[in-house]
Chain A
Amino acid sequence: MSDVANEPVDLARVAADDALLSAVARGTATPGDDDVTAMLLAWRADLDEGADDVSRNAALVTAALADGAAVPRRPRRRIGLAAAVVAAAALATGVLVGSDHAGPGDPLWPVTRVVHPQRSEVRAAEHAISQAHVATAGGDQEQARRLLDQAQQHIARIEDPAVADRLIGEVTTLLQTLTDPLPLPPIAVPGLTGQPTAGPTGAPPPPGPGKGGAPSAKPTPGDATPGSPPPGGGLLPLPLPTELPPLPTPLLPDLPLPPVLPG
């Protein structure tokens, strides 16, 4: 069908074309009066623009190596498992795996999402929480705190708000049982802990004019904090609006402990 397919092979032509393609790929070809050579050079240059950007290489390598020797045969199944294993190892040794640190908006975030799918984030968080329970039972509060901090980092990457809320609730509950005088971290905002969203402080009054809405448009400070109040007298938690709590992500990317120290 092709007009040239059945022509006899011109070996000199074949060799010249081979050399031409190699030269174009190396960028050493000169267009001459051959339109196709000029087009090939322009095409290659167009494809080349920024192609050697290596800024994301380190993330890829870290991600691939962290993925473990757990084999690429059935990636879908095993990635989650491998990530959980890696996370467990990180928890045991206190070493954090590099690619775990990427957050939304970070250049590494797409990679992290590929390598550490949601399911393994949930598993890693759950694992950290259960280990924290064990540490608490053993009296090692420092370790428990560290584990909970790691759990929060995993939770911060969970996209399903319902799952994230449940896990945050578990973390918060456990944090409250720790007797360390440090104030609770930012996520332990009243309203998140157990009671659902009908927060006493910031809930805006229902806008419906005719409905007999609850008349409690004013904040009632009496039952503001279900847990124990922070030790510093002037450091009552800020009345954050209740729409905020489900997404603690931006609050705790790299903070192992809350910034406020006891007075």
Chain B
Amino acid sequence: MTSAIPPELVSRAVRRDPAATAALLTALRPGLVRYCRARLGPVSGAYATADDVAQEVCLAVLRALPGYRDQGLPFTAFAYRIAANKVADAQRAAVRAATATPPDALPDQPDGTPGPEQQALSADLARRLSALLARLPDTQRDIVVLRVAAGLSADEVAAIVGMTAAAVRVAQSRALARLRTLAGQSLPEVAA
């Protein structure tokens, strides 16, 4: 379901084959959308902003395609570096906007919309994980986002973050250990 985009598909898309370009986008897009959502989070309970950024990322990736050269790195490294840049742009823009106009509502306030219990529970778990991720070191957080949200393999993530695959595996294991520790600490207050 994830990654492992066939190199021949990429090279056909680089040659501007419309069908290959469409297939490439179909393969890439869900991961890019989840990645942007994970990095940018919901605004007012919805992912519309993140999805807009994801749309820009998709377009930027497709536009950059003619300049892509296979140099041994997985294509996802190319795509997700573009995504990381776009997300950083969006975050800078958000910071500028926030300093220009003080926000009325904090984005991390609990969503007041009532829903089915299961959905609420799940959403609560998801929000708790987002909060815990924010307390990880940057690299560990990036790795977890790329592994789980984008759905990339450790090898692909290694190419993106500039580490060896082994180092990624160790780092993600440490990230999980830290998340478990943090979850254990935060459990009582969340349950209360």
A148 within 8 A of B: no
A4 within 8 A of B: yes
Looking at chain B, what size class is its interface with the partner chain? 35 or more
Stretch at the interface among B4-12, B101-109, B169-177: B169-177
Measured CA separation A15–B167 after assembly (Å): 12
B58 within 8 A of A: yes
Determine how close the nearest CB of chain A comes to the CB of B67; give it in whole angstroms: 6
* B170 lies within 8 A of A110 (CB): no
Q: Which of B55, B151, B152, B173 contacts A111 (CB 8 A)?
A: B55
Query: Can you list 29 A-B contacts (CB < 8 A)?
Result: A2-B174, A2-B178, A5-B174, A9-B170, A21-B148, A21-B176, A25-B148, A26-B1, A36-B129, A36-B183, A42-B124, A43-B129, A46-B122, A47-B37, A47-B38, A47-B126, A48-B34, A51-B30, A52-B29, A54-B26, A56-B55, A57-B25, A57-B29, A60-B62, A61-B22, A63-B62, A64-B21, A114-B56, A115-B59
B-contact 0/1 string along A37-66, CB 8 Å cutoff = 011111111111001101011101101110
- Prevailing SS type, chain A contact patch: helix
- Please name all residues of chain A whose beta carbon is closer than 8 Å to the beta carbon of B148 when the two chains form the complex: 21, 24-25, 40, 43-44
* B63 lies within 8 A of A47 (CB): no
Question: Which A positions have Cβ atoms within 8 angstroms of B?
Answer: 2-5, 9-10, 13-15, 17-18, 20-22, 24-27, 34-36, 38-48, 51-52, 54, 56-58, 60-61, 63-65, 67, 69, 71-73, 75, 110-111, 114-115
Additional pairs, 16, CB under 8 Å, beyond known A40-B148, A51-B37, A52-B30 = A2-B178, A13-B177, A25-B148, A26-B151, A35-B180, A35-B183, A38-B125, A39-B132, A40-B129, A43-B125, A43-B126, A47-B33, A61-B21, A61-B22, A110-B55, A111-B59
A-contact 0/1 string along B155-192, CB 8 Å cutoff = 00000000000000110111011111101100100000
Q: Which chain A residue shows the least CB distance to B178?
A: A4
* A39 lies within 8 A of B65 (CB): no
Determine how close the nearest CB of chain B comes to the CB of A253; give it in whole angstroms: 23
- Please name all residues of chain A whose beta carbon is closer than 8 Å to the beta carbon of B151 when the two chains form the complex: 25-26
Question: Which B positions have Cβ atoms within 8 angstroms of A?
Answer: 1-2, 16, 18, 21-22, 25-26, 29-30, 33-34, 37-38, 47, 52, 55-56, 58-60, 62-67, 121-126, 128-130, 132, 137, 144, 147-149, 151-154, 169-170, 172-174, 176-181, 183-184, 187
- Please name all residues of chain B whose beta carbon is closer than 8 Å to the beta carbon of A75 when the two chains form the complex: 63
* B33 lies within 8 A of A51 (CB): yes
- Please name all residues of chain B whose beta carbon is closer than 8 Å to the beta carbon of A36 when the two chains form the complex: 129, 176, 179-180, 183
- Please name all residues of chain B whose beta carbon is closer than 8 Å to the beta carbon of A44 when the two chains form the complex: 34, 148-149
Measured CA separation A57–B30 after assembly (Å): 11
Q: Which of A3, A43, A110 contacts B181 (CB 8 A)?
A: A3
- Please name all residues of chain A whose beta carbon is closer than 8 Å to the beta carbon of B153 when the two chains form the complex: 22
* A42 lies within 8 A of B129 (CB): yes
Determine how close the nearest CB of chain B comes to the CB of A85; give it in whole angstroms: 15
